[in-house]
Amino acid sequence: LAKTTQPISMDSYEGQEVNITCSHNNIATNDYITWYQQFPSQGPRFIIQGYKTKVTNEVASLFIPADRKSSTLSLPRVSLSDTAVYYCLVGGYNFNKFYFGSGTKLNVKP
Amino acid sequence: DVKVTQSSRYLVKRTGEKVFLECVQDMDHENMFWYRQDPGLGLRLIYFSYDVKMKEKGDIPEGYSVSREKKERFSLILESASTNQTSMYLCASSSGTAPREQYFGPGTRLTVT
């Protein structure tokens, strides 16, 4: 089971870049890395997904080193509205292995 | 936009009652999921379905069953509710071509007394 390890919490200030690193030492060859965001009283929301190197969309960037044993979610210039819990998941098509874990609680301060 | 709706936002049931949680998605997604979320434990997969009438157990299926008679609807059933099933229940769906991009409903906070 490709479980992940993330920091429990992080603090940042508005306008800063935030990097959240996730460790997944047991990642399998066909596993993708996926990140979700969850606000209080809402279901998680898909942010970004990648397999290797770098992926960027309008919300975030995802950096994956060659060995794929870790990944970093980068949020550029965060605002107060980015305060949320961020989950890193690894998994392929077998959803039994799609493990959410406890996530990283990001607190953005003014 | 994908919309996943759940039948209730809040639900209070008594121990031993049979409880039905309904989930409907409007994007013709093949995959549907039921999770429960508890403080400190994150989200845990109860059951998922990749097609009508098909179901697979997740990490914590004990005490739950599911039904998927139509593609858009996935029901979670608590046969005999117990207090340890008090939790937030989240339904999600995803397409067969983007299985890991799950769309979640707003959740149902179930309290069993």
pLDDT digits (tens, 9 = 90+) for B43-100: 899 999 999 999 999 989 999 999 999 999 999 999 999 999 999 999 999 988 777 8
Low-confidence ranges of chain A (pLDDT < 50): none
| pLDDT value at residue A48 | 95
| pLDDT value at residue A38 | 95
Residue B42 has pLDDT above 90, yes or no: no
Mean pLDDT of B15-36: 96
Q: For all residues of chain A together, what is the average pLDDT?
A: 91
Quick one: which of A35, A52, A41, A15 has its CA closest to A104?
A35
User: CB of B6 within 8 A of CB of B91?
Assistant: yes
Put simply, whether A8 touches B (Cβ < 8 Å) is no
| pLDDT value at residue A41 | 86
Greater confidence, B6 or B40?
A: B6
Residues of B with CB under 8 A from a CB of A: 4, 31, 33, 35, 40-45, 48, 50, 56-59, 90, 92, 99-107
**B90 → chain A, closest CA residue:** A43
Find all residues with CB under 8 Å of A83, minimum gap 6, and list them.
A106, A107, A108
Q: Which one of B38, B49, B59, B102 makes the best mutation probe of the A interface by having the most chain A beta carbons within 10 Å?
A: B102
What share of chain B has pLDDT > 70, as a percent? Answer: 98
User: CB of B68 within 8 A of CB of B75?
Assistant: yes
Q: Which tokens sit at A37?
A: 């965001």
